[in-house]
Chains A and B, each alone.
Chain A
Amino acid sequence: MYPLPIADTTRLRYRSMPWATFALMALNILVWYHIEVQLLLHAAPYDTPFGPVPSQQIAHLIYGGVPYAIHTRQGIGALSAITASFVHAPGYLFVLPFSWHLFGNMVFLYAFGRRLEDACGPVRFLLFYLLAALIAATASALIRNASPVDRLLPGIGASGAIAGVMGAFLLLFPGTRITTIPLIGFIPVPLRFRIPALFFLVWWLAQQIIPAFQTSRGEALYTTDFAAHLAGFFAGLFIFLFVRKDLLYRYLSGSRL
């Protein structure tokens, strides 16, 4: 059973509509739809000396953060650190046009991002999101480069940046509670539990440490980029460069945000 966070329990203070969060969600969904649905179904495969390669996979190689490409300054280089955070794994297209990877990331972004955007304002929130994505991509490129196979795999998904959002949330609002619904396998149970954010996020962080360590030593190959998660989470420290002035003032004076 896995608790899926759906919202934090505190109301937004400054604005009712978190435009930047919604814009990021919309962009992620659109990019996913374009790559995983349109390219897969309609684009012709590329001919290579090793046989035809689907356009969708070529897109993953170019726009995903491949450590090998970043280290050798090939492909789109540093830009892939940004584009990779908008690329997600394909769904079971012929059964259901749905990606758990995208869905999970978007749920986490919605649950934690709105409140953070409220604390930063939309522009500064987007800048922080970008910084977290860059830090996660940098760490991922450094750590995964140790593995001869992992360095060739694209690191896709918004989870590095979203981990940064989660880390920042933990720093700014450690006392809040988040509403979760339990997942049994992939099936949501229609129950709601309010869990302390501190408990949930520390529990989530603990799950990332050992796999990230194994990845750094090239001892294991995971389909999840735990290194990016871990680095992204600690990128949350930089939230203090982006949080609203008044909230920073309150934070420094020991007041509750």
Chain B
Amino acid sequence: MAESPPLIESLYQSGAQALQAGDRARARALWIQALQQNPRDLKLWIALTRTCDSRAEQLYCLIQSRRLLPREIMLEAAYRRFRQRHADVTPEVPGWLDLAAILSDEELAALPPEPDIHGPPPEAGLSFPTAAAQAFAPPEERRRPAGLLDQRQRAERIRGLLLIADGRLARGDADEALSLYLSVLELDPANADALAGALRLLSRARRLEEAESLTVRSIEAGNQDPAAYVSLAELRLRTGEGDPWEPLAALIDLPAVRPLHLLRAATLYWQEGRRKEGLAALHAAERRDPADQTVLMRLADAYRDLQHADRAVYYLRRVTDQGARTALGQAAEDALLDVAPHIPRYIQTSTLYALREVAGVVLIYFFLAVLDAGVTLTGIGLRGWGGLVLSAIGGYLAVTATSSPAQSLFGELRKARAAPPIRLDSRLREDYLPDPVEDAPFPILSKTWRIALGAAGAVILAVAAGLVLANSLSAARETLGALGSGVPPDYIHNWLTLWFRAS
């Protein structure tokens, strides 16, 4: 009985182990053996390039594999990247690779001609489908691969493939799902859903370079999903290859961009110390949705990071205005305590809050009056009660002048200026910051009024103290006068008499 050929996967794994052990020749032999069983296995071709002895040999392998797999986007991406990085390399046939040993005669004859590799390398930059870049966009036939299916059939097939792929993914079959997503991208490279799915799986498998190439191709084919742009920037930042800021710069102009994408972009900018661009992205998000608490909170955090407390306060207040009881609202409240005292406008203008402080003042006078009357209420007398009324009036004036000058009760006196707008601290001013934002003004008593009310309040409070403490002040004058003359006051005699009797 004839021995069945080893499975391709087992050959691939053995080759990988051999390569890991440093036995490149054995890995090469195993993978060629596997290719003889399936010459169109992309994974094997990619692996084979890792066993090459030189860049020239690698290029040759890539060229031959592209001829065999002309619609394989991964291979295409790998080839483009190779040519961009090593533009001066010319292919060299490796002594160990014989296509005739891998392919049948028919297959060899059906191969397309070898490309002209001496031409210019593929362009390094991206052509984004923004208004400014439309003129340089790739031609339509390059964007979308010519297929045998008409548009409707293709759309249906794509929908079906995506459904199956999502189902496979839900079942945990990531490889199959990835393969299906890639199939969709072959049919429609600009398909955002397929790209998102493929990117998620490729990133999870740490196949970042493939993910990056896939995204570039998708964007070039017209994918305007903002998530693709952000993903491309993230991938480039992670791999260190390519310009990560190019897609983020284009992101802001995309019609479908949402605050979520701009927040991700801002995070990337901020992490890399590009604060100007980060702030621009955050403000773009704010323009898109001025009521988004997350965006406002991020702006507050950004300004706190930049030590612009005034602006941070402004945005934190806006967060709380959108809902103080949400998680972000609570966080903003906490942050406000750290950044600056925060008094909501309705409390600033509240007369009730002012009267609360007046009650404190009156209570002090009340206890003084009670003690002055010999710890009785009935002994307070008319003068004492009059003092208490005056303490309420004086206290109110003093409180209005000091801690509550913005009460709405003083509507007629509001000719004074509004609360000052938020100003930038000149020490921290940076040219890229936008113009200062102004807090909504509310009426506040002028300085003159405050001084006048404060002085009147102080005088009235002093008079009230005199009335409330009339007995005590009189007794104190007598007692201290006696002490000053070196004679103990009568009170001491009385006390000593009682003390000796009691003891």
Given contacts A77-B475, A141-B371, A149-B502, contact A58 B347 (CB under 8 A): no
Q: A46-B486, A131-B363, A241-B363 known; A73 and B492 CB under 8 Å?
A: no
* Number of A-B contacts defined by CB within 8 Å: 154
**Interface residue ranges of A141-159 to B (CB < 8 Å):** 141-142, 145, 148-149, 152
Q: Are A152 and B499 in contact (CB under 8 A)?
A: yes
In the complex, the answer to whether A124 meets B367 with C-beta atoms within 8 Å is no
Q: Which residues of A have CB within 8 Å of B367?
A: 81, 131, 134-135, 138
A172 interface hit (Cβ, 8 Å): no
CB pair A152–B363 under 8 Å, yes or no, is no
* Cross-chain contact B483 with A62 (CB below 8 angstroms): yes
Q: Which of B91-99, B300-308, B332-340 contacts A (4 or more CB under 8 A)?
A: B332-340
Q: Is B359 an interface residue (CB 8 A)?
A: yes
> Do the beta carbons of A46 and B359 come within 8 Å of each other?
no
**Please, which residue of chain B has its CB at the minimum distance from the CB of A55?**
B483
Interface contact A248-B499, CB-CB below 8 Å: no
Task: Evaluate contact between B360 and A73: CB separation under 8 angstroms.
Answer: no
Q: Which of B479-503 contact A (CB under 8 A)?
A: 479-480, 483, 486-496, 498-500, 502-503
- From A48, A78, A79, contact of B492 by CB (8 A): A48
| Distance A112 CA – B493 CA, assembled complex (angstroms) | 40
Q: Which residues of B contact A124 (CB under 8 A)?
A: 357, 360, 403
B17-49 CB mask vs A (1 if < 8 Å, else 0) is 000000000000000000000000000000000
- Whether A46 pairs with B492 at a CB distance below 8 angstroms is yes
Cβ contacts under 8 Å, A248 to chain B: 353, 356
From A22-30, A161-169, A249-257, the one touching the partner chain is: A249-257
User: What residues on B are CB-neighbors of A81 within 8 Å?
Assistant: 367-368, 371
Docked CA distance A137–B364 (Å): 12
Instruction: Establish whether residues A48 and B493, one from each chain, have CB atoms under 8 Å apart when the complex forms.
Output: yes
Interface size class of A (residues with CB under 8 A): 35 or more
Tell me the residues in window 338-388 of chain B with beta carbons closer than 8 Å to chain A beta carbons: 338, 341-344, 347-348, 353, 356-357, 359-361, 363-364, 367-375
Query: Is B360 touching A241 in the complex (CB atoms < 8 A)?
Result: yes
Is B469 an interface position by the 8 A CB rule?
yes
Contact between B356 and A68 (Cβ–Cβ < 8 Å)?
A: no
Query: Could you tell me the distance in whole angstroms from the C-beta of B252 to the nearest C-beta in chain A?
Result: 36
> How many Å from the CB of A121 to the closest CB on chain B?
8
Instruction: Pick from A13, A76, A135, A141: contact of B375, CB below 8 A.
Output: A141
Q: A71-B375, A238-B360 are in contact. Are A246 and B347 (CB under 8 A)?
A: yes
**In the complex, are the beta carbons of A244 and B341 less than 8 A apart?**
yes
- Chain A residues whose C-beta falls within 8 Å of the C-beta of B357 in the assembled complex: 124, 241-242
* Chain B interface main SS type: helix
Residues of the B chain whose Cβ atoms lie less than 8 Å from the Cβ of A240: 356
Distance A246 CA – B334 CA, assembled complex (angstroms): 12
> Cβ of A70: which chain B residues have Cβ within 8 Å of it?
371, 374-375
Q: Nearest B residue to A256 by beta-carbon distance?
A: B334
Interface residues on B, range: 35 or more
Contact with B along A224-249 (1 / 0, CB 8 A): 00000000000000101110111011
Q: Which residues of A contact B326 (CB under 8 A)?
A: none
8 A Cβ contacts from A35-75 to B: 44, 46-50, 53, 58, 61-62, 66, 68-75
The residues in B between 274 and 323 inclusive whose CB is less than 8 angstroms from any CB of A are: none
B337 with A48: CB separation less than 8 A:
no
When each residue 89-130 of chain B gets 1 if its CB lies under 8 Å from chain A and 0 otherwise, what string results?
Answer: 000000000000000000000000000000000000000000
Decide: B496 and A127 in contact? CB cutoff 8 A.
no
How many whole Å from B372's CB to the nearest CB in chain A? 4
Q: Of B330, B402, B471, which is within 8 A of A77 by CB?
A: B471
Verify if A20 is at the interface (C-beta below 8 Å from B). no
A66, A78, A81, A148 — which one has the most chain B CB atoms within 10 A of its CB? Answer: A78
- Name the B residues within 8 Å of A245 (CB-CB): 343, 347-348, 353, 403
Contact between B363 and A253, CB atoms less than 8 A apart = no
Q: Name A241's contact: one of B359, B486, B487 (CB within 8 Å).
A: B359
How many angstroms between the C-alpha atoms of A137 and B472 in the bound complex? 15
**In the complex the two chains form, what is the Cα distance from A48 to B493 in whole Å?**
7
Given the complex of chains A and B, what is the CA–CA distance between A44 and B133 in angstroms? 99
Check B447 for interface membership: any CB of A closer than 8 A. no
- Can you show 21 pairs from A to B with CB atoms below 8 A apart? A49-B493, A62-B479, A66-B495, A70-B375, A71-B374, A73-B374, A73-B472, A75-B476, A76-B475, A78-B471, A79-B473, A79-B476, A121-B403, A131-B363, A131-B367, A134-B371, A245-B343, A245-B403, A248-B353, A250-B337, A255-B333
Q: Which are the 5 A-B pairs with shortest beta-carbon distances?
A: A77-B472, A241-B360, A78-B371, A134-B367, A76-B476
Q: Other than the known A50-B500, A131-B363, what 11 A-B pairs have Cβ atoms closer than 8 Å?
A: A58-B483, A71-B374, A74-B475, A74-B491, A77-B476, A79-B469, A81-B368, A138-B367, A244-B341, A246-B337, A253-B325
Binding site for A on B (CB under 8 A): 324-325, 330, 333-334, 337-338, 341-344, 347-348, 353, 356-357, 359-361, 363-364, 367-375, 402-403, 469, 471-473, 475-476, 479-480, 483, 486-496, 498-500, 502-503
